[in-house]
Amino acid sequence: MSEKIPHRDTAEAALKAFGLLPQARIDFVKQRENTVFKVTDGKDEYALRVHRHGHRHDDEVRSEILFMENLFEQALPVSQVVRTEAGEPFAVLPDGQGRQVQVDLQRWVPESAQFDDSTLTWQGQGVTTVEDFTTFGQLCGRFHRASARTPRIPGYRRDAWDLQGLTGDAPLWGVPSRLATDPAQAQTLAEADTFIAERLTELGTSADVYGVIHADFTPENVLRSPTGLTLIDFDDFGEGWWAFDLATILFWYSQHPRYEEFKMALLTGYRKYFELPQQAVSTLDALIVARGMTYLGWAADRPTDQTSAFLKAAVLPVVVRMAESLLSTGRIRKVHP
């Protein structure tokens, strides 16, 4: 059975590197960019992540781990990093194919579940309430406040969700128009790309609107537990506009019948801890479309992925219509009935 699970042998080898018992239980959780296992060592539980070969440079992974450690020290609810026996933020181990991969370990958030399911929220469903969104906003505001106070990490290396990262010929997650099913869709996405670039250029990158963000603030990356909400998975973190994290949250609820209520509650909670200039808040609709376009670019580069199929079938048409609305009115509109 173990040979059918990607990187199972690497996960077993990591137990020694992190000082865990060799007989610890290892359960496969998921595989996307990286492979995640749940490790149970006596009464303690951990999330062990085996990074995909070549996905990140060592300096990028080190920057991520050090950033999370700094947030944890500021009492932000993030996963607690566990260092190797040698005191390193991650281990480098063979992947069974003659290559070396990074492996890191974090404490499992006990009794936790995802904040919501993005597929359901996209369909206007899900279990989130307006009160939940106030708390969601507070978490995002606390994170941005802590991030803004965090000094530059020595040897910091991460891709930026800046103008080049979100727009142009080579954005971080691929060119969205490549997923288009006809020339009209491709043209709309290209025009929206130009519109978004103009808005972000006008906004600028001063410290009150731009900093180090999570960049994947989805319902799946926020966990509910008896102690509150916990922010996880900093694999995509880097510099970007603060409002991009808010746009990521709102994108997956943009077709929900209570979207406007959720948006107001999110901003109310957020402003308790962090205040954005009105110009930044006014770019939210453009950034929501930009967020949607990143998913299209991601899917275009992964045509055989099951998630890509969902993005092409269910998300692409909506993002195109949102882009049309943005171009004609400067705002997005709800597409689903």
Q: Give the per-residue pLDDT at 72.
A: 97
Topology of domain 114-329 in CATH is Aminoglycoside 3'-phosphotransferase; Chain: A, domain 2 (3.90.1200)
The per-residue pLDDT for 291 is 98
The CATH number of the structural domain formed by 2-108 is 3.30.200.20
pLDDT at 58 over 90: yes
What does the block give as tokens for 38? 């749940």
Domain locations in the chain? Answer: 2-108, 114-329
Q: Is the pLDDT of residue 306 over 50?
A: yes
pLDDT tens-digit readout, 75-114: 999 999 999 999 999 999 999 888 999 999 999 999 999 9
**Residues 6 or more apart in contact with residue 290 via CB below 8 angstroms:** 166, 167, 196, 244, 247
Q: pLDDT over 70 for what percent of the chain?
A: 98
Q: Give residue 335's pLDDT.
A: 56
* Model confidence at 210: pLDDT above 50: yes
Cα-only R_g, the chain: 20
Residue-wise pLDDT tens digits, 258-287: 999 999 999 999 999 999 999 999 999 999
Model's pTM, two decimal places? 0.95
What is the 3 state secondary structure string of the chain? CHHHCCCHHHHHHHHHHCCCCCCCEEEEEEECCCEEEEEEECCEEEEEEECCCCCCCHHHHHHHHHHHHHHHHCCCCECCEECCCCCCCCEEEECCCCCEEEEEEEECCCCCEECCCHHHHHCCCCCCCHHHHHHHHHHHHHHHHHHHHCCCCCCCCCCCECHHHHCCCCCCCCCHHHHCCCHHHHHHHHHHHHHHHHHHHHHCCCCCCEEEECCCCCHHHEEEECCEEEECCCCCCEEEEHHHHHHHHHHCCCCCCCHHHHHHHHHHHHHCCCCCCHHHHHCHHHHHHHHHHHHHHHHHCCCCCHHHHHHHHHHHHHHHHHHHHHHHHCCCCCCCC
